[in-house]
Chain A
Amino acid sequence: MDMLKRAMESDLYWSFRQSPVAMASAAVALSLILASIFAPLIAPYNPFDPASLNLMNGFSSPMEPNQFTQDVFWFGSDDQGRDVLSTILYGMRISLFVGFAAVLFAMIIGVVLGLISAYVGGRTDAFIMRIADIQLTFPSILVAMLIFGIAKGFTPVHLRDQMAIWVLIVSIGLSDWVQFARVVRGAALVEKKKEYVEAATLVGRGPVAVIFLHILPNVLSPVLVIATISLALAIIAEATLSFLGVGAPPTEPSLGTLIRIGQGFLFSGEWWILFFPSVTLLLLALSVNLLGDWLRDALNPKLDD
């Protein structure tokens, strides 16, 4: 109760209530996330259970009873009679899972390297930051693609489809750590000079404890902002890779894979197979992005760019 009361009275909550954009995007993002978590309960069909598929249901238009089976699909069905709504719900799960996991991975690498860089300084700092600078000159989607290609090559052939999701997470994560490292380093350099850090060192705390127990909690708010914006970017990166056919395998289609499949029906008039996954991806990326923008303004951390 106490926590809740404090949260309700915080500046952050006040600024949230003041911003209709933030509230709307939070509502959209939250309902999409909940819908994908509870996909097995909400989805009208299980698109990956061959027993529930009926080829007669193929290419049903949205909201219209199928001409053979009279089944109604809200968002229509694809060539194999799969319910588009269900594939979107399951696909969004994979998109969000990859997005969250990739950001978490990037965050851990970036925060740890950023803290070490700031605390140790000297050659270590110069080395880490040089790597970061070099990586920044390449667009992150290109880095993700290259890492994906290399990592795919290293995976044994029979494991490639099973491992694809994890390879995807690692490549997107590795392409995105630089932002975290730079921001954490900047914030930690400021914190390092403060008296509480000196005090902690004086009472005999070791460097690891000082870094992670004392400095880390004080640099978290910019990390939160970067993480939110990175989530939107990671979702788009995953969708892009999967769309290009170098991401999620066909057995576990993400939103990007669904758009790739839907593009094939663009000319034959089955617009819903392409339209609904695209709109879902847009809503997801846009709402998370707007939320990140709001969070940046509300917390107002000093970001590099």
Chain B
Amino acid sequence: MISYIIKRAMQSVVVLLAVGLVAFGMFRFVGDPIDNMLGQERTDADVERLRELLGLNDPFIVQYWDFLTGAIQGDMGVSFRQGRPALDIILERLPATLELATVSAVFAMVMGILLGIYTAINRKGFVTTTILTTSLIGVSLPTFLIGILLIYIFAVELGWLPSFGRGDVVDFGWWTTGLTSWAGIKSLILPAITLGLYQMTLIMRLVRSEMSEILRQDYIRFARARGLTEKTINFRHAVKNTLIPVITVAGLQIGSIIAFSIITETVFQWPGVGLLFIDSVQFVDIPVMASYLMLISVMFVGINFIVDMLYLAIDPRLRDGKEG
């Protein structure tokens, strides 16, 4: 078991090193940052000063070493576009994305589990059919179209909710939140639904199939034979056993939510890291792109590692020395 954990940790480190190499490759070989930072009207002295400042005159190995040590210390270079440290810009935008992702994840979990339980208990009927059909349409629509559709209904036609931005934001120095004001919460509703809809459907389907499976098991029949009420059987016996696989899948989906926040943030002009990344791709702002790449990789590798460790804790077959 220890060897499995070590092997798995090593693998995560290798993936991160590989991503780091890609990020460094971008720094070193992509375009000429001088072209990106200085306009047409520039003197040779300007160019030379900037090259020296950015360390572009150093030999390859020195640059690579600088990059590695810098990255570990949180120095990912200076944004070509804003002239500020790339990591600062990313960290400044991170609370917006994390807030959106958390609210969507909670929405997806709560709604997904509730609707999943409902459709599993009531297998037929108008409401179940409607929920399942709507979810099927919801899954086949691209995320950005769902966002536009919601904007059209709730912002343009009904005028209930704002269509862009974060509303009023309270600043705590290193953290910003829109959750303290009504305007902030209102701005959060549409992006959170757009972002969480796909995951909600996924969780709903999973809960539904798991729970239908469990309701056919012998111990449920036995519980029924004991004369327990349907409510007790469904909620005390069945739901509890449904939730273990759901939690692992939901954990894995957190990464996807952060990735898809790029699309949602663009549709709603939500000032998070996703929107920042799209801007950096449009302007080929390598340090910001590379920092985002590193950040998202650390998140993904971390989440996968934790989920694997959870499996290890839950599944006895993995614990007894066998490798998965």
Contacts and interface: CB of A to CB of B under 8 A. Distances in A.
A266 B296 contact: no
Nearest to B31: A153
B300 A240 contact: no
Given A137-B300, A153-B26, A145 B262 contact: yes
A146 B140 CA distance: 24
Q: Chain A's interface: helix, strand, loop or mixed, by majority?
A: helix
B280 interface: yes
B281 A149 contact: yes
Interface string B281-307: 110101001000100100011001000
B16 to A, nearest CB: 11
A301 to B, nearest CB: 22
Interface stretch (B70-78, B141-149, B232-240): B141-149
A274 interface: yes
A150 to B, nearest CB: 6
A221 B15 CA distance: 33
A139 B278 contact: no
B119 interface: no
Contacts of A102: none
B151 interface: yes
Given A138-B259, A244-B262, A266-B156, A278 B30 contact: no
B196 interface: no
B317 to A, nearest CB: 20
B105 interface: no
Contacts of B35: 157
A148 interface: yes
A71 B262 CA distance: 40
Interface string A258-277: 01000100110000001000
Given A139-B259, A142-B259, A289-B140, A282 B30 contact: no
A199 to B, nearest CB: 36
A168 interface: no
Given A137-B304, A236-B142, A150 B259 contact: no
A240 B144 contact: yes
Contacts of A141: 259-260, 263
B194 to A, nearest CB: 13
30 contacts: A134-B15, A137-B304, A138-B259, A138-B300, A139-B256, A139-B260, A141-B259, A141-B260, A142-B259, A142-B262, A149-B281, A150-B22, A150-B30, A150-B289, A153-B26, A153-B284, A154-B30, A154-B31, A244-B262, A245-B266, A246-B281, A246-B282, A259-B144, A259-B148, A263-B267, A267-B156, A274-B148, A278-B145, A282-B140, A282-B141
